[in-house]
Amino acid sequence: MASTDRLIQGLILFSTVLGVFFLWEVSSLLPSFVFDAIAFGWVLWVIDSVLTFLRPNVSYYMGLLLAFLTLGATLSQPEHYSLIGSGNLEAAATLIVGSSAQIAIIIAVAYRFVAVRRTRPP
> What is the reported pTM?
0.88
Query: In this predicted structure, what is the pLDDT of residue 28?
Result: 83
What burial class does residue 2 get, using C-beta atoms within 10 Å of its C-beta: 0-12 exposed, 13-18 middle, 19+ buried?
A: exposed
Residue 122: predicted pLDDT: 66
Q: What is the pLDDT of residues 58-116, one digit of tens each?
A: 999 999 999 999 999 888 877 776 767 777 788 788 888 999 999 999 999 999 999 88
